[in-house]
Amino acid sequence: MNKPVSSHAGTDISTWQAFCATLKRDLVIALKRKNDLLNPIMFFLIVVSLFPLGISPDPVELSKVSAGVVWVSALLASMLSLDNLYRADYEDGSLEQLLLSPQPLYFLVLAKNIAHWLISGLPVVVLSPLLAYMLYLPSEAYWTMVLTLLIGTPVLSLFGSIGVALTVGLGSRGLILAVIVLPLSTPVLIIGAKAVTDVMFGLPIGNHFALLGAILALALTMAPLASSAALRISVN
């Protein structure tokens, strides 16, 4: 983790402490609200397990769409839980306290985004091999799918955070959130799903991983800045 350059002695340490405290706080809240914790995972499981019923139980047919199905479900599961990121904090005033902290907002927002990923993204990554098995994904593609999800789902949390930060002050958000977040997230979906499909055909996939990694690096550095600015506007 990069520490901010600062002239004050001790500021680095207190920034790190504020980062850890915010991460821990969000995880504790999530663990105490079992519903929010289970919702994205259940959604992911249900959507993926409905596909064989809707399309066909035929292994050949299913294995063709399996990569896309798992990726689309992961994207939707991540979006479903995005609202938890700032909504409660906005309503009870904790968000104002966060914005008034002398610590750099970048790290506090990053901590919240990492907490969101640990709650909604990581379980999806862990469960994905099981679902891939259900959908007859060829075994040589398992690792590629897990790895692309591992790189891709944090991006979904980071980009999604910008959308929620922009809309958290609005009374009725409806589809606005999806309209903001989806254009940012679809490249990840396209590259991630394509990597899994390509490996099934024995094609090289190095460039897909390079692109995903580049997007993750971009999201890690830029998205929390954008979220911070959006939050300041939303509480104004």
Partner 1 sequence: MQARALFCERDERVLFSGLDLDVHAGELVQIKGSNGSGKTTLLRILCGLNDDYEGDIHWKGEDLHEQRENFFASMIYIGHRVGVNRILTPRENLRWSASLHAPVDDMRIVAALERLGLRAYEDIPCRNLSAGQTQRVALSRLLISPASLWILDEPFTTLDVQGVKNLESLLSEHVNAGGAIVLTTHHALNVTCPSRALDLDTRRAAA
Which CB sits closer to partner 1, 65 or 226? 226
Q: How far is the CB of 148 from partner 1 (least distance, A)?
A: 34
DSSP string of 20-63, one letter each residue: HHHHHHHHHHHHH-HHHHHHHHHHHHHHHHHHHHHS-S-HHHHH
Residues making contact with partner 1 (CB under 8 A)? 14, 17-18, 20-22, 25, 28-29, 32-33, 88-89, 91-94, 96-103, 108, 232, 235-236
Q: Please report how close the Cβ of residue 152 comes to partner 1 at its closest, in angstroms.
A: 30
Nearer to partner 1, 190 or 235 (CB): 235
Least distance CB 16 / partner 1 (angstroms): 10
Least distance between partner 1 and beta carbon 96 (Å): 6
- b/e sequence 5-30, b meaning 16+ C-beta within 10 Å: eeeeeebeeebeebbeebbeebbebb
- CA atoms of 133 and 162, how far apart (whole Å): 34
Secondary structure letter of residue 101 according to DSSP: -
Least CB distance from residue 52 to partner 1, whole Å? 38
> What residues have CB less than 8 Å from 24, skipping those under 6 apart?
none
Distance CA(105)–CA(199), nearest Å, equals 40
Nearer to partner 1, 80 or 88 (CB): 88
Query: Which of 19, 110, 124 has the alpha carbon at shortest distance from 76?
Result: 124
Minimum CB distance to partner 1 smaller for 73 or for 84: 84
From 189, 151, 159, 193, select the one nearest 177 (Cα to Cα): 159
Report, in Å, the least distance between residue 236 CB and partner 1.
6
- Nearer to partner 1 (CB atom), residue 30 or residue 195: 30
Q: For the chain, where are the alpha helices, taking DSSP H only?
A: 11-32, 34-54, 59-80, 87-92, 94-99, 105-116, 122-134, 142-167, 176-200, 206-235
Q: Which is nearer to partner 1, 169 or 187 (CB)?
A: 169
In the complex, the smallest distance separating the C-beta of residue 113 from partner 1, rounded to whole angstroms, is 17
Nearer to partner 1, 32 or 201 (CB): 32
